[in-house]
């Protein structure tokens, strides 16, 4: 959402991107040998080595479009790894970035000194499965790596129809009952790359924490449920994501949407689809307005029955998910960013979202619950509670019920920047605190650094031990009976995981994917 953030803070006008932070400025070259060949990286001002734009799979172009990621290229001469690679194709990118279909790369930051067996923080960026990149400035990992003496990895993966389209012809071609989510297979290929090369960067291949926000958090939960990802990570962090939601598609739903795309571009087979240019594919089916309102479509994970055997929440509840510690939470004002793009919201808009997200049976009860409330404000709250807070609580309950250490949080601190403060503690805001960076001309104020450091340290402790507790931060382990969480603000505290009894209401309308 980096491009969207730039639009919002300028009230609809693109903000000139700031110069890259110091961690991105050219420094002295450093070299390592990975399994593909030698790399030339750079040293940042914080004493952190940066290796950027490293390919972890072959370019997914031509005949490799809509196929599982192929083996990464090899080289014999030193490869320059001092610039991030292009983002995967999407409708819009920040002015400092570019997009290209040859996009399967990752970035590594590792302190030059410190422990020889560092925990690895593996970042999966968000963006509604239609935008985003691990190379955006907001995700520069130098500060987090330096403070936590950790290896930080950020990745790109295929998004939109290139990463999540399903089609019966494609399933037949692959010899599978249904098309997999290629974006998830990309993420797994990047995890396998980390496993092979971790020690080169001083990392412990047995201590990888996958963490992500929004679609990245959805991805984390999917990997918890994917048998093929088992053993590639030891802990998981989900920031503002869900394990059950309309963004998950059944095979039938996904294939119907894939066929609709093929018809829109005049294709009947995969050869025709692979011959189409990227912009034709991206523009074939317009997206829903900011992921919420019709007309348009969303793209998301396919419950294909093989790679993703079942809805992740069901796997967590049944004890079939990875038995690893989980840290999960949401932001107090999640919905505001999603609705800020709408000049107004009608009662019909609110009802359309509720119908799409929670089913027809929810429309009348939700209408009654928010009677007399401005529809836009009602939609803000519905998104925050129904789509984020209560989804996180369900996932925490499911994972904790099998004895897995689980820690739940609510983030409540708005950014101090006057250009963003009015949006409250909305979707994305915690990213500034976790990474300590800047984006769209917004950086943390000095008064916000203590909370940023506390969150970095909590994430780092969790990556080392599976427990975020430490000096100045008491974080109760989640238990469904007590229903407690940590409230992350200037002065962290404790709170309830059922704000205003909202989850007792929203749990009535939990939905599974269709068979």
What are 360-419's pLDDT values in tens digits? Answer: 999 999 999 999 999 999 999 999 999 999 999 999 999 999 999 999 999 999 999 998
pLDDT band at 27 (very low <50, low <70, confident <90, very high): low
Give per-residue pLDDT as tens, 28-85.
899 999 999 999 999 998 899 999 999 999 999 999 999 999 999 999 999 999 999 9
Cite the beta strand spans of 366-510 per DSSP E.
406-411, 484-488, 493-496
The domains found in the chain, sorted by start residue, are 2-509 (3.40.50.1820)
Alpha-carbon dihedral sign for residues 144, 145, 146, 148: positive
Strands 235-239, 118-124: pairing kind? unpaired
Smallest CA-to-CA distance from 396 within 383, 387, 405 is with: 405
Residue 512 has pLDDT above 90, yes or no: no
Smallest CA-to-CA distance from 155 within 217, 85, 225 is with: 85
Residue 214 Cα distances to 40, 81, 256, 431, angstroms: 32, 28, 25, 11
- Interacting residues of 469 by C-beta distance below 8 A, sequence separation 6+: 458, 461, 475
| Annotation marks residue 402 as catalytic | no
Task: Name the active-site residue from 148, 240, 427, 438.
Answer: 427
| Annotation marks residue 427 as catalytic | yes
Kindly report the backbone phi and psi dihedral angles of residue 124, in degrees, each rounded to the nearest multiple of 5, phi listed first.
-110, 110
pLDDT of residue 22: 36
| Annotation marks residue 391 as catalytic | no
The predicted model scores a pTM of: 0.95
Please check whether residue 257 is in contact with residue 297, taking contact to mean a CB–CB distance below 8 angstroms. yes
Mean pLDDT of 427-433: 98
CA dist 511 and 137 (Å) reads 36
Strands 484-488, 493-496: pairing kind? antiparallel
Q: What is the mean pLDDT of the chain?
A: 94
Task: Name the active-site residue from 101, 255, 307, 334.
Answer: 334
Task: Name the active-site residue from 110, 214, 219, 229.
Answer: 214
């Amino acid at each position: 959402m980096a491009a969207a953030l730039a639009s919002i803070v300028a009230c609809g006008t693109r903000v000139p991107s700031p110069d890259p932070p110091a961690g991105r400025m050219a420094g002295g070259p450093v070299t390592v040998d990975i399994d593909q060949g030698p790399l030339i990286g750079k040293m940042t001002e914080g004493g952190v080595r940066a290796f950027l734009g490293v390919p972890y799979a072959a370019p997914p172009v031509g005949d490799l479009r809509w196929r599982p990621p192929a083996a990464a290229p090899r080289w014999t001469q030193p490869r320059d790894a001092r610039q991030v690679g292009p983002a995967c194709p999407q409708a819009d990118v920040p002015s400092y970035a570019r997009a290209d279909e040859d996009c399967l790369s990752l970035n590594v930051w590792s302190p030059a000194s410190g422990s020889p067996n560092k925990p690895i923080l593996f970042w999966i960026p968000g963006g509604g499965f239609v935008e985003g990149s691990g190379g955006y400035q907001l995700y520069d990992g130098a500060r987090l790596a330096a403070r936590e003496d950790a290896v930080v990895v950020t990745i790109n993966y295929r998004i939109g129809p290139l990463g999540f389209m399903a089609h019966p012809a494609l399933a037949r071609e692959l010899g599978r009952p249904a098309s997999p989510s290629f974006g998830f297979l990309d993420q797994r290929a990047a995890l396998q790359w980390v496993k092979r090369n971790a020690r080169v960067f001083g990392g412990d291949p047995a201590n990888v924490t996958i963490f992500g926000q929004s679609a990245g958090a959805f991805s984390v939960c999917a990997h918890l449920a994917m048998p093929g990802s088992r053993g590639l990570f030891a802990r998981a962090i989900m920031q503002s994501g869900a394990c059950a939601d309309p963004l998950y598609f059944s095979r039938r739903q996904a294939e119907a949407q894939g066929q609709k795309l093929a018809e829109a571009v005049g294709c009947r087979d995969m050869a025709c689809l692979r011959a189409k240019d990227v912009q034709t594919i991206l523009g074939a089916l317009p997206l829903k307005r900011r992921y919420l309102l019709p007309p348009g479509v969303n793209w998301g994970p396919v419950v294909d029955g093989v790679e993703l055997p079942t809805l992740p929440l069901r796997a967590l509840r049944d004890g079939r998910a990875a038995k690893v510690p989980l840290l999960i939470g949401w932001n107090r004002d999640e919905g505001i960013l999603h609705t800020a793009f709408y000049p107004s919201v009608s009662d019909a808009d609110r009802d359309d979202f509720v119908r799409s997200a929670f089913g027809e049976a929810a429309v009348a009860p939700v209408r009654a619950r928010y009677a007399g409330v401005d529809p836009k404000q009602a939609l803000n709250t519905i998104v925050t509670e129904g789509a984020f807070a209560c989804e996180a609580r369900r996932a925490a309950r499911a994972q904790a019920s099998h004895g897995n250490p689980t820690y739940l949080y609510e983030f409540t601190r708005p950014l101090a920047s006057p250009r963003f403060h009015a949006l409250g503690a909305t979707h994305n805001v915690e990213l500034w605190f976790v990474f300590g960076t800047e984006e769209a001309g917004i950086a943390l104020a000095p008064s916000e650094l203590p909370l940023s450091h506390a969150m970095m340290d909590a994430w780092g402790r969790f990556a080392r031990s599976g427990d975020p507790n430490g000096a100045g931060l008491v974080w109760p382990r989640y238990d469904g009976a007590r229903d407690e969480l940590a409230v992350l603000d200037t002065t962290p505290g404790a709170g309830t995981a059922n704000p205003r009894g909202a989850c007792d209401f929203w749990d009535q309308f939990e939905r599974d994917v269709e068979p």
